[in-house]
């Protein structure tokens, strides 16, 4: 039995790629948050993907160097009207950089709550302006970019022959007005070109000096500049949500390949969309769910991680409160199982779990294998614990954390005793009423062959 290499689906080639890295190290770049608001559970699904891939690679014996950028400059305008960072600043009357630092801190708190291992580096776009300007100067010198008639700098899309290889979008069929691009770009030669540097115009905040005048970078150039600098101009795995495939990653690929003279990224991996209770999350629908919302419902934050593990990363997923509550209950049960088995830290290799995780990160199959092990009466408690710990290297569910022990008050104990008596007397209506009271007090009641049992929610 052995742990194989990770093979994962590459968006560009539409086939599985085996990830080997260089000299035992896999270089990963994952597009990070734009820190003008909290990351919602859909965003966190993408950030979890980078953690699951990193953990699986480490399970196979490879080291990982992960870079995840922090977009803290105001250059996104996906509603064609206002910049997100500056709009939030205008609404709250708070300095945009103060907003960025606040939500950046909250992003890291959410990662910790989800047991996502920290990246090697979290570069801020605002602190990489020199690298972006240098990259833009090089692109101009190569005639891959030009200064437009409006003074802003644009990438010449027609100068990159394989544009569209990642997304399937061909230049001759693209229509003007892409999402995430500014609309005041009258200085472009071709409507599919995109801004590398925008002149400030009337804008007075979040602007920097440059050879072309005060302004701010276009969205795509930050990822090219950061990945080339921090990962030695070669990225083994580039990760992001499926919504970034076009135009962001398509444009980033054109920039990066032009700058390095090579195919900079070996493998492009994209996580699919997350719905919540059948609908896309949006402010207008009022169904944006944050990790804090999960916690406020009394659920372990790792219930979200558990629920996400039960779905393939490149399949659209429909999350619900019911699935989160079920995950919370199973998580408690698994921790109790390990706690009952002792404190041994020994792990026991399982081929099925290993094969599932290394074959395009099939976490649902790996989770099902653990459920099967749980029910298998021929496997001893200590072996079950060791097998669970092996899977938890990647699952990251803190299964060895134990179950929280809390004393019950005399009032709650009286309700528990009264319910035992009611059931013995077959007074079912009173039994149900007492159950409701105990549930409201934070207990979860179970009736089995051995009688009443309970645990904290």
The CATH number of whichever domain residue 78 belongs to comes to 3.40.50.620
Q: Given this model, what pLDDT does residue 204 score?
A: 85
Instruction: Please give the pLDDT value at position 215.
Output: 94
Pull the structure tokens for residue 189: 């030669």
For residues 164 and 285, state if they share a domain. Answer: no
In-domain check, residue 133: yes
Instruction: Note the pTM of the prediction, 2 decimals.
Output: 0.87
Q: Judge whether 283 is annotated as a binding position.
A: yes
270 labelled as ligand-binding?
A: no
Q: Are residues 306 and 439 in the same domain?
A: no
Q: Which residue has the tokens 């770009």?
A: 185
Residues contacting residue 123 through CB under 8 Å, at least 6 positions apart: 67, 69, 70, 226, 230
Are residues 208 and 179 both part of a single domain?
Answer: yes
- Of 139, 98, 138, 116, the residue nearest 32 (C-alpha): 116
| Last residue of one domain, picked from the residues 271, 290, 313 | 271
Domain match, 267 and 280 both: no
Range of the domain at 335: 275-401
Mean pLDDT taken over the chain: 91
Q: Is residue 2 part of a domain?
A: no
Picking from 384, 401, 418, the residue at the C-terminal end of a domain is 401
Query: How high is the pLDDT of residue 76?
Result: 47
Please write the tens of the pLDDT for every residue from 388-428: 999 999 999 999 997 766 667 888 889 999 999 999 899 99
Domain count of the fold of the chain: 3
Quote the tokens at residue 221.
Answer: 């150039």
My answer on whether 265 and 311 are in the same domain is: no
Separation CA 40–CA 43 (nearest Å)? 5
Where residue 348 falls among pLDDT bands split at 50, 70, 90? very high
Whether 284 and 430 share a structural domain? no
Do both 338 and 419 map to the same domain?
no
Q: Are residues 56 and 175 in the same domain?
A: yes
Condensed to tens digits (0 to 9), the pLDDT of residues 22-77 reads: 999 999 999 999 998 899 999 999 999 999 999 999 999 999 999 999 999 865 44
Contacts with 102 (C-beta within 8 Å, 6 or more apart), sequence order: 35
1 CB neighbour count, 10 Å cutoff: 7
Mean pLDDT of the 291-298 span: 94
Higher pLDDT, 215 or 451: 215
CA 380 to chain CA centroid, nearest Å: 36
Q: Is residue 303 part of a domain?
A: yes
- Range name among 129-133, 191-195, 399-403 with the lowest pLDDT average: 399-403
Q: What is the mean pLDDT of residues 427-450?
A: 86
Say whether both 145 and 121 belong to one domain.
yes
Structure confidence at residue 75 (pLDDT): 57
Contact 324, 294 (CB under 8 A): yes
| Whole-angstrom distance, CA of residue 331 vs CA of residue 333 | 5
**Same structural domain, 417 and 377:** no
pLDDT at 182: 55
Highest mean pLDDT among 273-287, 292-306, 442-456: 292-306
Residues 238 and 101: their CA atoms lie apart, in Å, by: 25
Domain contains 1: no
Does one domain contain both 291 and 374?
yes
Instruction: Say if CB 167 and CB 179 are below 8 A apart.
Output: no
> In the listed set 271, 298, 330, which residue is the last one of a domain according to the structure?
271
In a domain? residue 17: yes
| Cβ-based burial of 312 (10 A; exposed 0-12, middle 13-18, buried ≥19) | middle
Task: Quote the tokens at residue 165.
Answer: 């290889």
Residue 109 lies in a domain: yes
Question: Is there a single domain that holds both residue 30 and residue 162?
Answer: yes
Decide if 257 is inside a domain: yes
What pLDDT does 1 receive?
61
Q: For 67-96, what is each residue's pLDDT tens digit?
A: 999 999 865 443 334 566 677 777 777 788
The pLDDT tens digits of the residues spanning 441-456 come to 888 888 876 688 777 7
Q: Is residue 392 part of a domain?
A: yes
């Amino acid at each position: 039995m052995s742990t194989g290499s990770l093979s994962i689906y590459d968006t560009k080639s539409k086939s599985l790629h085996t990830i080997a890295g260089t000299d035992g190290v896999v270089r990963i770049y994952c597009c990070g948050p734009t820190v003008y608001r909290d990351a919602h559970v859909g965003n966190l699904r993408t950030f979890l993907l980078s953690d699951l891939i990193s953990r699986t690679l480490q399970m196979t014996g490879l080291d990982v160097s992960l870079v995840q950028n922090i977009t803290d400059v105001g250059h996104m305008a996906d509603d064609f009207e206002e910049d997100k960072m500056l709009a939030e600043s205008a609404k709250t009357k708070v300095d945009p950089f103060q907003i960025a630092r606040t939500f950046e801190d909250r992003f890291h708190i959410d990662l910790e709550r989800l047991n996502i291992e920290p990246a090697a580096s979290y570069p801020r776009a605002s602190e990489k302006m020199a690298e972006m300007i240098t990259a833009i100067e090089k692109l101009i010198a190569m005639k891959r970019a030009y200064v437009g008639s409006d003074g802003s700098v644009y990438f010449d899309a027609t100068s990159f022959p394989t544009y569209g290889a990642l997304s399937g979008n061909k230049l001759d069929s693209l229509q003007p007005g892409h999402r995430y691009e500014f609309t005041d770009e009258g200085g472009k030669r071709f409507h599919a070109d995109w801004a590398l540097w925008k002149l400030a115009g009337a804008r007075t905040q979040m602007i920097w000096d440059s050879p072309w005048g005060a302004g701010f970078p276009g969205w795509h150039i930050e990822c090219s500049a950061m990945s080339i600098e921090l990962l030695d101009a070669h990225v083994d795995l580039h990760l992001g949500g499926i919504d970034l495939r076009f135009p962001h990653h398509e444009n980033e690929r054109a920039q990066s390949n032009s700058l390095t003279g090579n195919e900079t990224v070996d493998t492009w991996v994209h996580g699919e969309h997350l719905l919540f209770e059948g609908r896309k999350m949006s402010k207008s629908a009022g169904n944006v769910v944050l990790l804090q919302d999960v916690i406020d419902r009394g659920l372990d934050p790792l219930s979200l991680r558990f629920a996400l593990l039960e779905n393939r990363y490149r399949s659209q997923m429909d999350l619900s409160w019911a699935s989160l509550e079920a995950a919370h209950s199973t998580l408690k049960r698994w921790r109790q199982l390990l706690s009952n088995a002792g404190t041994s830290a020994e792990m026991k290799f399982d081929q099925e779990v290993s094969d599932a995780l290394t074959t395009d990160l099939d976490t649902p199959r790996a989770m099902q294998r653990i459920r099967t092990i749980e029910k298998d009466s021929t496997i001893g408690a200590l072996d079950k614990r060791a097998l669970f710990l092996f899977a938890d290297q990647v699952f990251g569910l803190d299964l060895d954390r134990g179950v929280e022990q809390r004393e019950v008050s005399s009032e709650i104990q009286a309700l528990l005793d009264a319910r035992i008596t009611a059931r013995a007397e077959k007074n079912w209506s009173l039994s149900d009423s007492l159950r409701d009271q105990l549930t409201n007090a934070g207990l979860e009641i179970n009736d089995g062959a051995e009688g009443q049992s309970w645990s904290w929610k």
